[in-house]
Amino acid sequence: MKYPLSHALVITAFYLIAVGLAGCSGKSDAPLFLESKRKGGEADAPVKDVPSDILSTQKAFSNVSKKVTPSVVNISTVSRKKIVQPFFEMNPLFEDFFGGPQTRRDKSLGSGFLISKDGYIVTNDHVVRDAESIQVKLSNDKVYDAKVVGGDPKTDIAVIKINAADLPASVLGDSDKLEVGQWAIAIGNPFGLDRTMTVGVISATGRSNVGIETYENFIQTDASINPGNSGGPLLNVYGEVVGINTAIVAAGQGIGFAIPINMAKPIFTQLIQKGSVSRGYMGVTIQPVTEDLAQSFGLKQARGALVNSIIKGGPADKAGVQQGDVITALNGTEVKDPSHLQRLVAEAGVGKSARVTVFRDGKTVELNLTLASADSAPKQRRDSGGGRQQGSDADQLGLVLDDAEQGAGVVVVDVARGGVAAEAGIQRGDLIVSINRKRVTSKAEYFRIVQQAGRSGGLTVLVRRGDASIYFALRIK
């Protein structure tokens, strides 16, 4: 039987397709992908021999996450913030039209960790400050309303409370034993991502003068800390809390700060017990010891805190601390700088006896004092002297001076630009009260002391500026 050419082509095409399909069906047993033998498949893992220490480290991180995550909480707050409209608020009719200051409701997220089975939670003060409502979400997704027990803005630590029982409490470690290079693990709620875990190392300890809080002794870490991590725990490989994640350097990466748990424990203990924090108080004002000041005082290195004024009747005054003393140690702990001394005194406790080591006239002196409460510190006001300009030319330090009233010193009427005093930082209106620890009572006394002291080429000048007393080191050219 003969078929037209078109029919023959169709039959041929069907034949080829059938052969092709038959060929494809012959390969149907080949796998579409490779599955590891570790999951019951046929293929070997690309790396067969993983070093045991890597496996152990990986297992350690997993264990920390499993054990500690239940004690980490997510905190969400709602607060009311005033809308700033400076141009319109200058108009006296603003409130008539808009009904008073306009506000908006702000929502924010943070982290925290349980420290007790009955619902006490530690977090950052800035997480819950001014919050109208606070909600806490646990790892089992249960949500509780929380109330603020107390907050301390000077250390950025707060305690909140939820009504619950049999909760998984965190275990607190010893932050004093931390060493640079040790593992650091952060768990928190960055950007609302529940219980995110990041890993890094301890980059540094004892960071101060960062400008974040009044009392600073931060742990620095490169474990990723982001908005929402605030208040969450920083952990060691044992799952112990060694710090409270607090801040990041926005302009950099891998620079985060945490409050050491040893510093935080007395703070949140006081917050739980009485809702506020009391700190020790010496009754002095202090300033840093610069290289020039250290040399002028005869110190081998620029460390410690220089006492520039004494509060009359305060603990330091009663103990015999003098203006011009350099406090080098407190209770045997070497003082690095004024902020370090401030923290040591605050942590020492109200009513506690303290041993103060000072450097005075080239000698080390030991003094004992009893710390008072910082809440009882008087608001000192000092008269800056006033004075009147005599029209005299600047002296060798670049100063134009006048006698203060009642022999209180000499007033700086003017400061010559580029002079020794100007370079050191002395300003118009300052009251010079002593030079090289010798009291200045008049211009005549000032010139006599400067002339005598000038032979050595260096002067230590104590000035009173408003409520503050400040030491300056000057070098006569």
Q: Counting Cβ atoms within 10 Å, is residue 240 exposed (0-12), middle (13-18) or buried (19+)?
A: middle
Phi/psi-derived region of residue 272, left when phi > 0, alpha when psi is between -120 and 50, beta in every other case: alpha
Q: Residue 77: which residues within 8 A CB-CB, separation 6 or more?
A: 107, 108, 109, 110, 127, 128, 131, 132, 133, 134, 135
User: Tokens 């009904």 — which residue?
Assistant: 99
The structure tokens listed for 50 are 């993983």
Which residues, in sequence order, are CB contacts of 152 under 8 Å at separation 6+?
Answer: 125, 158, 267, 271, 276, 277
* b/e code 277-310 from CB counts within 10 Å (16+ = b): bebbbbbbbbbbbeebbbebbebeebbbbbbbbb
Q: Which residue among the candidates 152, 156, 325, 402 is catalytic per the annotation?
A: 156
Output DSSP code: residue 43.
Answer: B
* 224 catalytic per annotation: no
d(CA 243, CA 157): 11
**Helix pair angle (338-348, 261-274), 10° resolution:** 40
Q: Among this protein's residues, is 25 annotated catalytic?
A: no
> How many residues can be counted in the chain?
477
Please tell me which residue in 71, 76, 125, 126 is annotated as part of the active site. 126
Q: Which of 170, 175, 208, 230 is catalytic?
A: 230
Number of Cβ atoms within 10 Å of the Cβ of 190: 21
CA 408 to chain centre: 40
Is residue 89 within 8 Å of 262, Cβ to Cβ? no
139 in active site: no
Question: Any idea what DSSP says for residue 22?
Answer: H
Structure tokens given for 432 = 């010079």
Active site (catalytic) residues: 126, 156, 230
